[in-house]
Amino acid sequence: MNVYFHLRAVPPSALRNSANWMQRLFEDDWNAVRERVDRHREEFLDRRYADHDVLYTGADPDEGPRTQVVLGGHPIPHPDKEAPPFLMLTAAQTARVAAFLTTADFESLWNLARAELLPRYGGTESEQEARSVFASTHRDLTAFYAQTAEYGDAVVKWVLG
C-alpha cells in the first residue's frame, strides 16, 4: 500500500473544524486532485514525508513557520481512532509558512539536514540524486504555499494510504 501525505488549500469561508467534513474533503476522485495539483492548490508527499520534515525542522524545532511546513498544524482527530489526525493551518499560519519558504535558502537547509538524511538515501555516493529529490519537493511546497497564501487560504493535511 502506498502512503501519501496530502496537503490541500481551503478557503477560510469553506473551512470546517469537523473531522467528518475533513474526511470528505479528501475523498475526491484522482482527476479532480490532479487538476488542483497542477494549479498548486494541492500537494502530495510520498511515504517519506517525515524525511522532508527533517529538512525544515532540523536546525531549530522551535523556529515557528519552519516547523509547520510538512507536519505542523492544529490536530483534528479522525473519526476512526486508528487513523492519523488531520492537521489544519489557518490562513495566517499558511502565510507565515509561505514567507519562510520563499525566503529560505535551500542549500542552507540541505547542509543542516544532509547528515541525518543521506544514510536513508544511499549515503554520500547518492547525494546528488537525494539532493535533487529534496530540492524538487522544496520547489513544489514553496509553490503550493505561496499560491495558497496569495489566495488567503488555509491548509488541511492528512496521511492517505
pLDDT digits (tens, 9 = 90+) for 4-22: 888 999 999 988 888 888 8
Asked whether the predicted pLDDT for residue 156 surpasses 90, the reply is yes
Which residue intervals of the chain are DSSP H helices?
19-25, 30-38, 49-57, 91-103, 106-117, 127-150
Mean pLDDT of all residues in the chain?
87
The model's pLDDT over 34-53, given as tens digits with 9 standing for 90+, comes to 666 565 578 888 888 899 99
Lowest-pLDDT choice from 10-19, 20-29, 120-129 = 20-29
The H or E element that residue 75 is part of is: strand 74-76
Global pTM reads: 0.89
CA 52 to chain centre: 8
Domains and CATH numbers, the chain: 4-160 (3.40.1760.10)
Q: What is the pLDDT of residue 1?
A: 45
Lowest-pLDDT choice from 2-6, 135-139, 142-146 = 2-6
Percent of the residues in the chain that have a pLDDT greater than 90, as a whole number:
56
Residue 158 has which C-alpha cell? 492528512
